[in-house]
Structure 1
Amino acid sequence: MIARGGIIGLAGGIILGIFLKGIQALTGLKVYTLLLNVDFIYSKPLPEWVEFGIHLAVAVPIGIGFILIRDWLKFITLLKQSALALLITIPAGFLYFPLSILANKNVPSVYDIRAFGWWAAAHLVFAGVLVWGGWIVRRSASN
């Protein structure tokens, strides 16, 4: 279960990153830059792949936690799994505000409603990947 949860978290993190990178390319809103930004923790510039790796290092445990909690609570229905995924993901969506405030890089303002909307949408996509991946894991385990 841990490996499957890790794969789900990894997939979700990759899709979230690609989504925000695409939004940044299309709109100019620096939401992908915000996602990868760790300059308030580590002041020296890091390569994009290292910053993306840090992002994935957060996404993987979230995927593992989702599967472990889902199985512990015996959430079988899609509705319950969706509620759990949202419960886990919504706090990450609100990290937009402290990350925007703490950033030294040029990132969207805490008052940028469009940027926050795209950020929130990306995190809803992540929640969707958790549910979809969890559904696949449950179906493959029952076969």
Structure 2
Amino acid sequence: MSLTKKGFKITVIYGVISGLVLAALLKLVELMTRLKVYTLLLNVDYIPFVNTVAFPELIELGFHLIVSIALAVSLYLLIIYRKIQNKKQLILVCTAVCFIIGAALFPTTAFSDRTPDSKSMLSFAYWIVGHILYGYLLGVLFARQINQRKVRF
């Protein structure tokens, strides 16, 4: 496996697709439950200097997509480095990494009064399920690409 320009471009697209799916899912959860999980996804209150500006939702979504692309590229590089070609292993790695990141990020809710209470188990559950699905989707997209052999990772 090697890093290719085409593989990198597809990975960026996968990052956008997965990021939009996660955002849509958490937006739907927030609309249905009033738990501020989508707000947490877009929240930048814990980032110095950035937290001094009130960004519109579309800009905050753009920040989220940049992070999603960076994560997809990082997972792409991990797949290359570890030479992961087994579909199930690839999906498991992507899902596990995203679960860990979701669990690590949830406590940032304590830094904002706009996000869910950090002790809200229901918010945490929705947040984690969203991140697990995000990782699973990324893994499936990567596995699909490997199986089709259209892109050499």
Query: TM-score by structure 2 length?
Result: 0.85
Mean Cα displacement is larger for which, 80-89 or 6-15? 80-89
Aligned partner of 1:68 in structure 2 is 77
Unaligned runs of 5+ in 2: 1-6
Kindly provide the amino acid, as one letter, of the partner of residue 28 in structure 1: R
2:36 to 26, 30, 36: 30
Aligned partner of 1:113 in structure 2 is 121
Mean Cα displacement is larger for which, 114-123 or 63-72? 63-72
2:9 to 3, 8, 11: 3
> What is the aligned-residue RMSD (CA, Å)?
1.6
Q: Retained in 2: the 8 A contact 1:93–1:123?
A: yes
Unaligned runs of 5+ in 1: none
Q: Retained in 2: the 8 A contact 1:82–1:131?
A: yes
Rounded to whole Å, the distance in 2 between the matches of 1:25 and 1:104 is 18
Query: TM-score by structure 1 length?
Result: 0.90
Aligned partner of 1:13 in structure 2 is 19
Rounded to whole Å, the distance in 1 between the matches of 2:81 and 2:10 is 15
Mean Cα displacement is larger for which, 3-12 or 27-36? 3-12
1:54 to 42, 58, 63: 63
Kindly provide the amino acid, as one letter, of the partner of residue 33 in structure 1: T
- Match of 2:149, SS state, is helix
Q: Does residue 146 of structure 2 align to residue 138 of structure 1?
A: yes
Kindly provide the amino acid, as one letter, of the partner of residue 37 in structure 1: N
* Deviation, structure 1 residue 141: 2.6
Aligned partner of 1:127 in structure 2 is 135
- Write out per-residue CA displacement over residues 10-64 of structure 1, whole angstroms, 9 at most, x where no aligned residue: 1111100000000001111010011111133322211101000001110001111
Runs of 4+ in 1 over 4 A off after TM superposition: none
* Deviation, structure 1 residue 8: 1.2
